[in-house]
Amino acid sequence: MKLWWRINLAVAGLAGVWLTGLALSAQGRTVAPATGQKAGEAFKNVTTSTLKELSVDDFIASMGLISANLGLDCADCHPNAGTDRADFVIDTPRKVTARRMVEMVAGINRTNFGGVQRVTCWTCHHGRITPSTTISLDAWYEAPNIELDDTVRQESGQPTADQVLDKYIQALGGAQRLAGLTSVVATGNALGYGDLGGNADFTMFAKSPNQRATLITYKDTQRPASIWAFDGRTGWIKTPRGLLGEYELIGSELDGARLEAQLSFPGQIKQALTNWRGAAIRSIGDRDFVVVQGSGPRGFLATLYFDPASGLLSRMVRYGPSPIGRMPTQIDYSDYRDVGGIKFPFEYKFMWLDGRYTAKLNKIETNVAIDATKFGRPSVK
């Protein structure tokens, strides 16, 4: 399939943004956006009524969402994206259409759905540049539609969300053991991140109740590490082509980083989100899972898939809101093993709109001291 090059180009395209920023800095513009700056202020030519109000990190994620929703790469709207000659500012015909569509989506939701976001780019485009207009009769008679609602509701005959979460805590080793967990250091390999092949080290640090950092470091190249850090209050991402690729998390990625940090200490899972609902049964491939959902701040959602037999968490999909649709990030957990009486997943598959990797762990240490700088801004380490 063509999917792999799409993902690589998307990552390459993001690199182009930072390179552009570097070039602009020579002309006296600030390099990284100032904290709290909106996209309409940080970028030269961001003018739609909704996207211009986003934080810079949410704006870039919304670009990933547009690309995925239409099956495009950054370069399909922005000339030379993915190279150091990328021009994100110029208005190409397709970019002009996209801008019009952004306003159209806002208008449809405002006039028909009381301002609730019911219609998104995905509603019509479904991964195609031109939305299809007519049903295929094969699809009607033969292939069931397996698309899922974003929202989860309690199904009759299923346990409550509370019962599912209790079973999970029990399956991991019980509330008492989990309460005694104060830190986790996990090491292993990261496979398939960007176009970098298999040769990267993966390290995850977590400190109770809500600090977490992930590092991907490359053994055979001069490439700087990728770092995701959250210190309980502020979050940062530093990307592999990291000339400039460090930015602060302000928007929904900050809520996502906080949730992942909290879930590193699963004894507190019930408090990590509010308004827990479910359970419902949902399939991934040919396996059924027990699914519950909770809400975070500002329209943030997370859906958790539990293995019905073991009670362990198999998948989390978290969604950050945007004016053009929810921005998903998905983590699959597997290969649970016992470390000091608590079960930990030794494999994570991490996917977001602009990349994915699989982390295979070979060692987990618990309750060891971790230097506080690990969780802070990467560049000031």
Residue 54 in contact with ligand HEC, rule: CB under 6 A: no
Pick the stretch among 96-104, 180-188, 203-211, 370-378 that binds ligand HEC (CB under 6 A). 96-104
- Cα–Cα distance, 160 to 166 (Å, whole number): 10
17-46 footprint of ligand HEC as x/- string (CB under 6 A): x-------------------------xxxx
Per CB under 6 A, the list member of 6, 8, 71, 99 interacting with ligand HEC is: 99
The token pair at 270 is 């019930």
Burial (CB count <10 Å: 0-12, 13-18, 19+), residue 70: buried
Pick the stretch among 11-19, 166-174, 259-267, 283-291 that binds ligand HEC (CB under 6 A). 11-19
Footprint (CB under 6 A) of ligand HEC, residues 337-366:
354
Per CB under 6 A, the list member of 7, 18, 57, 76 interacting with ligand HEC is: 76
Residue 15 in contact with ligand HEC, rule: CB under 6 A: no
CB of 292 to ligand HEC, least distance (A): 30
Residue 367 in contact with ligand HEC, rule: CB under 6 A: no
Nearest CA among 218, 224, 186, 222 for reference residue 199: 218
Sign of CA dihedral 75, 252, 200, 380: positive
- Cα–Cα distance, 207 to 181 (Å, whole number): 9
Footprint (CB under 6 A) of ligand HEC, residues 104-143:
105, 119, 121, 123-125, 129-131
Residues, the chain: 381
Do residues 204 and 212 lie in contact, with contact meaning Cβ atoms separated by under 8 Å?
Answer: yes
Footprint (CB under 6 A) of ligand HEC, residues 272-331:
324
For the chain, report the end-to-end CA distance as a whole number of angstroms. Answer: 41
| 151 contacts: CB under 8 Å, gap ≥ 6 | 293, 301
**Omega of the bond leading into 209 within 30 degrees of 0 (cis):** yes
CB of 190 to ligand HEC, least distance (A): 21
Residue 259 in contact with ligand HEC, rule: CB under 6 A: no
- Cα–Cα distance, 154 to 321 (Å, whole number): 23
Task: Please give the residue ranges that form the binding site for ligand HEC (CB under 6 A).
Answer: 10, 13-14, 17, 43-48, 51-52, 63-64, 66-67, 70, 72, 74, 76-78, 88-89, 94-95, 97-99, 101-102, 105, 119, 121, 123-125, 129-131, 324, 354
